[in-house]
């Protein structure tokens, strides 16, 4: 017999999952998830995990609750770890109590992992504190959608209208007018500040605020649809001063990343932290060249080189993985000077135990040449582990100066085996190398960039874009990921 974990997935923002919840998602044999759980959490499951969508959209259930209960029981009897992933918190209008009760009745162990409920987190992301020393000492959480089988409402409307300072209705967008009218009828001041929030904590968050008497018409005019929450109380007026989430510089902008998925985390995080809605369109896959006889021979006598030049993080990874596979470590590189093309490459080298001796001001091959101009190149031997497809200007410079450069391809780029264009057209498409440009056009054509703002990491990538007849609106001044993000932010600020 297995065990069922009722895990709260949080309100939507991927980073609001708890550490315990994340741990269980990675351990789960089966994950049964709802519509409100962030789908990116499912991507964190182990490869062999069984993933089952239980639906439960507003007014549209893929599986009735009784079937979900039966499914939990069936899977628990076969598997060690079953995760029931629920939006928000399992016990705050999430029917987790019913599921736990059903499992207990059938002798199945369950554990509850609380989640960050939308009842408190969504107002916070909208700049609305539910309690405030001067404005609200009490708060009530109310379902906005009672069980349709009930003959009478269990909600004490008169007490709500005349009691708690702040009211939070969950799943009530469909009944917004009914809720507002009933509160006013029971004594609530029609001028009380109110708001509705859709897609709270996400880059698509939308907030509509007004008085209680007009909030229904304002929400309809703004096209607010379920799911969402309703807040009624004087604390809503603090939003004008405390609003922060929507003021982030890239809020609501859809930004596409064309880098390999496993290398896009830093760019994705930096963009998301600034409010962007990030979508991934990987146009490259990286594959290490193995076996690699030429690299193996170079690693047998690394001391014959005076310098090693690393022009990418991929080159660093492939080189050191090969070194370690031979049973060697960084002591084999004693006395060799190391040149890194930029911060990211230098950081990965540092993680491998190597502090680069040289790094150019401009993170390009031309910048590497500027470094070489300050060195005695004649009669020196250079090792250059790099991509199979790369420019030769570094090699040509070294040879012209009387040096020797052994170029060893250690990885190659290729088109992804599985590709799919984004569901929605992005506002901005980022390109971090010439390969991402070339491959994007091969996969989707230039028309896919029509009306999109094109952002380039630097002049080499820009030249490739221009060679394809594309207009570049944004080019990083510092040719790395933080520089690209800074340039995008500055573009919209200007």
Work out the average pLDDT over 350-359: 95
Give the pLDDT of residue 294: 94
Classify burial at 342, counting beta carbons within 10 Å of its beta carbon; exposed 0-12, middle 13-18, buried 19 or more.
buried
Q: Which residues are catalytic?
A: 34, 56, 171
Question: Who's near 20: CB < 8 A, 6+ residues apart?
Answer: 7, 113
Classify burial at 119, counting beta carbons within 10 Å of its beta carbon; exposed 0-12, middle 13-18, buried 19 or more.
buried
Cβ–Cβ < 8 Å for 118, 200: yes
pLDDT in tens, 188-244: 999 999 999 999 999 999 999 999 999 999 999 999 999 899 999 999 999 999 999
Residue 58 pLDDT more than 60? no
- Strands (E) in 150-189, as ranges, are 166-170
Give the pLDDT of residue 421: 73
- Indicate the pTM of the whole model: 0.82
Give the pLDDT of residue 79: 79
pLDDT in tens, 254-301: 999 999 888 899 999 999 999 999 999 999 988 999 999 999 999 999
Residue 403 pLDDT more than 80? yes
Token pair recorded at residue 165: 């300072």
Which of 206, 209, 170, 215 lies closest to 188 in space, CA to CA? 215
Integer Cα distance of 406 and 86 in angstroms:
56
Cβ–Cβ < 8 Å for 319, 350: no
Give the pLDDT of residue 148: 58
Domains and CATH numbers, the chain: 3-115 (3.40.1010.10), 120-243 (3.30.950.10), 254-284+417-493 (3.40.50.10090), 287-414 (3.40.50.10090)
- In angstroms, how far is the first alpha carbon of the chain from the final one? 61
Question: Who's near 67: CB < 8 A, 6+ residues apart?
Answer: none
Cβ–Cβ < 8 Å for 325, 300: no
Cβ–Cβ < 8 Å for 458, 243: no
Give the pLDDT of residue 217: 96
Residue 61 pLDDT more than 60? no
Token pair recorded at residue 366: 């031309």
Give the pLDDT of residue 377: 95
% the chain with pLDDT above 90: 83
Give the pLDDT of residue 151: 60
**In 58-78, which positions are buried (b, 16+ CB within 10 angstroms) versus exposed (e)?**
eeeeebeeeebbebbbebbee
Beta bridge partners of 257: 280, 430
Question: Who's near 117: CB < 8 A, 6+ residues apart?
Answer: 8, 11, 88, 89, 92
The mean pLDDT of the chain is 93
Question: Who's near 176: CB < 8 A, 6+ residues apart?
Answer: 144, 196, 215, 216, 219, 230
Q: SS3 for 237?
A: helix
DSSP 455: E
The CA-atom distances, in angstroms, between 92 and each of 26, 86, 88, 96, 109 are 24, 10, 8, 8, 21
Dihedrals phi, psi of 36, to nearest 5 degrees:
-80, -10
Give the pLDDT of residue 59: 46
Integer Cα distance of 74 and 102 in angstroms:
12
pLDDT in tens, 83-113: 999 999 999 998 999 999 999 999 999 999 9
DSSP 109: E
Residue 62 pLDDT more than 70? no
- Strands (E) in 302-380, as ranges, are 307-310, 337-340
Does residue 9 have a cis bond before it (omega within 30 degrees)? no
Which of 76, 80, 112 lies closest to 95 in space, CA to CA? 112
Work out the average pLDDT over 345-354: 95
Integer Cα distance of 262 and 492 in angstroms:
28
Torsion on CA atoms 146, 148, 149, 153, rounded to nearest 10: 40
Does residue 487 have a cis bond before it (omega within 30 degrees)? no
Q: Write the DSSP assignment of 258-272 as a string of letters.
A: -S-GGG-HHHHHHHH
Cβ–Cβ < 8 Å for 276, 253: yes
Cβ–Cβ < 8 Å for 452, 488: no
Element (DSSP H or E) covering residue 343 = helix 343-351
């Amino acid at each position: 017999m297995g065990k069922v974990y009722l895990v709260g997935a949080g309100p939507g923002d991927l980073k609001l999952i708890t550490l315990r919840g994340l741990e269980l998602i990675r351990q789960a044999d089966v994950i049964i998830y709802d519509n409100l759980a962030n789908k990116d959490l499912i991507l964190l499951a182990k490869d062999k995990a069984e993933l089952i969508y239980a639906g439960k959209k507003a007014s549209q259930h893929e599986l009735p609750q009784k079937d979900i209960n039966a499914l939990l029981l069936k899977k628990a009897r076969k598997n060690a770890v079953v995760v029931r992933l629920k939006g928000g918190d399992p016990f705050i209008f999430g029917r987790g109590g019913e599921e736990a009760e059903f499992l207990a009745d059938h002798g199945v162990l369950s554990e509850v992992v609380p989640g960050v409920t939308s009842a408190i987190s969504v107002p916070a992301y909208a700049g609305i504190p539910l309690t405030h020393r001067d404005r609200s000492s009490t708060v009530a959480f109310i379902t906005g959608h009672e069980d349709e089988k009930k003959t009478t409402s269990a909600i004490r409307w008169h007490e709500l209208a005349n009691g708690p300072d702040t009211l939070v209705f969950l799943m009530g967008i469909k009944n917004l007018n009914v809720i507002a009218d009933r509160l006013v009828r029971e004594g609530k001041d029609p001028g009380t500040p109110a708001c509705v929030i859709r897609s709270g904590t996400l880059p698509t968050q939308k907030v509509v605020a007004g008085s209680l008497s007009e909030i229904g018409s304002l929400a309809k005019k703004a096209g607010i649809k379920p799911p969402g929450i309703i807040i009624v109380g004087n604390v809503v007026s603090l939003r004008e001063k405390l609003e922060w989430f929507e003021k982030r510089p890239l809020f609501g902008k859809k930004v596409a990343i064309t880098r390999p998925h496993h290398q896009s985390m830093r760019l994705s995080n930096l963009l998301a932290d600034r409010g962007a809605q990030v979508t991934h369109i990987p146009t490259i896959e990286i594959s290490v060249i193995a076996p690699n006889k030429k690299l193996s021979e170079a690693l047998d006598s690394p001391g014959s080189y005076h310098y090693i030049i690393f022009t990418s993080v991929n080159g660093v990874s492939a080189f050191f993985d090969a070194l370690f596979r031979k049973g060697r470590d960084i002591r084999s590189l004693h006395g060799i000077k190391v040149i890194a093309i930029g911060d990211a490459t230098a950081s990965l080298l540092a993680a491998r135990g190597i502090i680069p001796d040289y790094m150019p001001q401009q993170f390009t091959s031309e910048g590497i040449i500027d470094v070489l101009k300050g060195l005695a190149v004649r009669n020196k031997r250079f090792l250059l582990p790099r991509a199979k497809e790369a420019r030769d200007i570094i090699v040509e410079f070294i040879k012209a100066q009387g040096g020797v450069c052994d170029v060893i391809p250690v990885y190659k780029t290729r088109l992804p085996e599985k590709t799919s264009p984004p569901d929605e057209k992005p506002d901005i498409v980022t390109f971090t190398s010439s390969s991402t440009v070339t491959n994007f056009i091969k996969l989707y054509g230039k028309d896919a960039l029509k009306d999109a703002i094109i952002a380039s990491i630097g002049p080499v990538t820009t030249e490739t874009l221009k060679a394809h007849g594309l207009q570049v609106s944004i080019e990083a001044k510092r040719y790395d990921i933080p520089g690209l993000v800074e340039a995008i932010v500055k573009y919209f600020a200007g």
